[in-house]
Amino acid sequence: MLRRLWKRPRKSSSTAPGTSDPAAASDSLEALLDANLHFIRKTVGNSSDIVIREVVIGVDGMLRAAIIYTDGLAESKHVLEALMLDARVARLDGNDTLEKDPMRVLMDSTLAIGETEKVHTFDGLFHAVLSGDIAILLDGQAAALIANGRNWKERNVSEPASQSVIRGPREGFTESIRTNTALIRRKIKDPRLWLEMRLIGRITRTDVGIMYIQGIVNEQVLKEVKQRLDGLDIDSVLESGTIEELIEDKVLTPFPTMINTERPDSVAASLLEGRVAILVDGTPFVLVVPALFSQFYISSEDYYQRADFATLIRILRYLSLFITLLAPSLYVAVTTFHHELLPTQLLIGLAAQREGVPFPAFVEAVLMEITFEILREAGVRMPKTIGQSVSIVGTLVIGQAAVEAGLVSPAMVIVVSITAISNFAIPSFNMGISLRLLRFVLMGLSASFGLYGITIGLIAIVLHLCQLKSFGIPYLSPFAPLQLEEQKDTIFRMPMRSMFSRKQGKSADRQR
């Protein structure tokens, strides 16, 4: 559906003011207050949450004005007090400044609000009002004064649910893009940290921010990010996943080519390395580009622990990668084709366990993998109070019952359990999903050709990874092409003293 919406031609905006066509929202404001209010009421369909309050200002109440805001998104108390009390001290005789330029008086000496601006189109007025700002219309003025009055309810900053750590900051992004930018600026107090905003989505008009450090950022990557975002033409952006899917380099790949994170410290570290962060209003997940294969096995906690301990943990993660990807396939291949690889006693034990199992090893592995995937998904969707207990109990009960019923062998239950546990050791959830998909493909190859099939599958995966790019950067960098200087922070994490370096004009080395 998103692809269909993306290619939908843009509607014409030539409808005259006074009609109910929303496309007319790009027309200019009129000098007559009544005409502007009539058009606004008609466009929003007299919605009850769009409040239009008409007031008079000046000592003699000679100037009519209107305040427009969205109930629940804006706090209008300060603006109303400023207009109905402070603005009434200005006289409206022929020499009074309020009569000459009333909006300038309101902006300079009446409204005690930090952010104010003038807009001259209905499009700008509607976007401001529906974003939580307050619009002030004056009779005789073909413009609207926009005052920042955003005051909606939002979730407090809390610990990220998907990326927990033992040691490190416990704050995570929220659904407010302004809160998220503030969390990043708390980490990087440098004027070279720049933020550029975009409005994407013809209907949702979602705020999308591009954040980078000028002078450190990879300029080619930044240029590519801007071009891809500016080329989007869709109706709605409700989550950063929509942006991710539309601007990624290659769609037909199981591997993620963009990083999403809830942690401000991870985004700050990526910005210091010369990467670009993409923030989307309404979601706590921030996108970071370019993404490399090795980054999905690095946790921010690695830089808060000793180098030797962090290196050991990373080696365990790569070991978990191979177990997650290959354990069921190797079991199927060895038990089906390559019995000579097993010690005699182990082979006799496995044969005794499988004596009453009616299915071949491949069918047995597929049944167990699908069962575990269903239990995993059910545990996520269930209420938190019972989800974890139900998933654990369900796994134990179903596994034990399947063994006693003779449907699967105990060894297969052990292999599938180790595989599922190893998948959780990978820090990135997206990469874990990719490995789960590829696991089924390798299981099919191992059931057909044994170890030769697994070898062919691994070669195909490596070839696919070698031709992947993330915003022009090779996906397997710094392994392929090999960059010896970058090896100090890939599988091994060298001490901090050896990582304080930066190449001029290029993305920074690992400087956390």
Decide if 62 contacts 139 (C-beta within 8 A).
no
Q: What percent of the chain has pLDDT over 70?
A: 86
Residue with more model confidence, 446 or 509: 446
How many structural domains compose the chain?
A: 3
**SS3 at position 433:** helix
**Looking at the domain assignment, is residue 319 inside a domain?**
yes
Q: What percent of the chain has pLDDT over 90?
A: 42
Q: Confidence band (pLDDT; 50, 70, 90) for 346?
A: confident
Say whether both 287 and 254 belong to one domain: yes
Q: What is the pLDDT of residues 18-29, one digit of tens each?
A: 333 444 445 889
Residue with more model confidence, 456 or 406: 456
Say whether both 456 and 346 belong to one domain: yes
Q: Is the pLDDT of residue 92 over 80?
A: no
**Looking at the domain assignment, is residue 509 inside a domain?**
no
Q: What is the pLDDT of residues 277-327, one digit of tens each?
A: 999 999 999 999 999 999 999 988 888 988 899 999 999 999 999 999 999
**Looking at the domain assignment, is residue 316 inside a domain?**
yes
Say whether both 340 and 431 belong to one domain: yes
**Looking at the domain assignment, is residue 486 inside a domain?**
no
Q: Of 128, 147, 166, which marks where a domain is finished?
A: 147
Say whether both 120 and 246 belong to one domain: no
Q: Of 266, 291, 316, which marks where a domain is finished?
A: 291
**Looking at the domain assignment, is residue 296 inside a domain?**
no
Say whether both 324 and 454 belong to one domain: yes
Q: Is the pLDDT of residue 76 over 90?
A: no
Say whether both 260 and 398 belong to one domain: no
pLDDT of amino acid 114: 72
**Looking at the domain assignment, is residue 245 inside a domain?**
yes
Average pLDDT estimate for 14-18: 36
Rounded to whole angstroms, the Cα distance separating 473 from 113 reads 45
DSSP 300: G
Q: How far is CA 382 from CA 212, 378, 391, in A?
A: 39, 6, 9
Say whether both 202 and 308 belong to one domain: no
Average pLDDT estimate for 166-192: 92
pLDDT of amino acid 6: 42
Long-range contacts of 34-39 (CB under 8 A, 24+ apart): 36/66, 36/137, 37/66, 37/137, 39/122
pLDDT of amino acid 511: 41
Decide if 187 contacts 298 (C-beta within 8 A).
no
Q: Round the CA-based radius of gyration of the chain to a whole number and report it.
A: 30
Decide if 283 contacts 240 (C-beta within 8 A).
yes
How long a stretch of residues is the chain?
512
Q: Of 107, 129, 147, which marks where a domain is finished?
A: 147
Say whether both 189 and 253 belong to one domain: yes
Residue with more model confidence, 502 or 169: 169
**Looking at the domain assignment, is residue 91 inside a domain?**
yes
Q: Is the pLDDT of residue 14 over 70?
A: no
| Residues in a beta bridge with 69 | 51
Give the count of beta carbons closer than 10 Å to the beta carbon of residue 105: 18
Residue 386: which residues within 8 A CB-CB, separation 6 or more?
none
Residue with more model confidence, 87 or 295: 295
pLDDT of amino acid 228: 94
Q: Is the pLDDT of residue 398 over 80?
A: no
Q: Domain range spanning residue 103? A: 18-147
Say whether both 133 and 222 belong to one domain: no
Say whether both 186 and 279 belong to one domain: yes
**SS3 at position 198:** strand
Highest mean pLDDT of the ranges 152-166, 268-282, 390-404: 268-282
Say whether both 332 and 435 belong to one domain: yes
pLDDT of amino acid 16: 36
Q: Confidence band (pLDDT; 50, 70, 90) for 439?
A: very high
Q: Is the pLDDT of residue 210 over 80?
A: yes
pLDDT of amino acid 9: 40
Say whether both 212 and 307 belong to one domain: no
Decide if 237 contacts 231 (C-beta within 8 A).
no
How confident is the prediction for the chain on average, in pLDDT?
83
**Looking at the domain assignment, is residue 171 inside a domain?**
no
Rounded to whole angstroms, the Cα distance separating 355 from 407 reads 11
Decide if 442 contacts 221 (C-beta within 8 A).
no
pLDDT of amino acid 11: 40
pTM: 0.83
Q: Is the pLDDT of residue 255 over 90?
A: yes
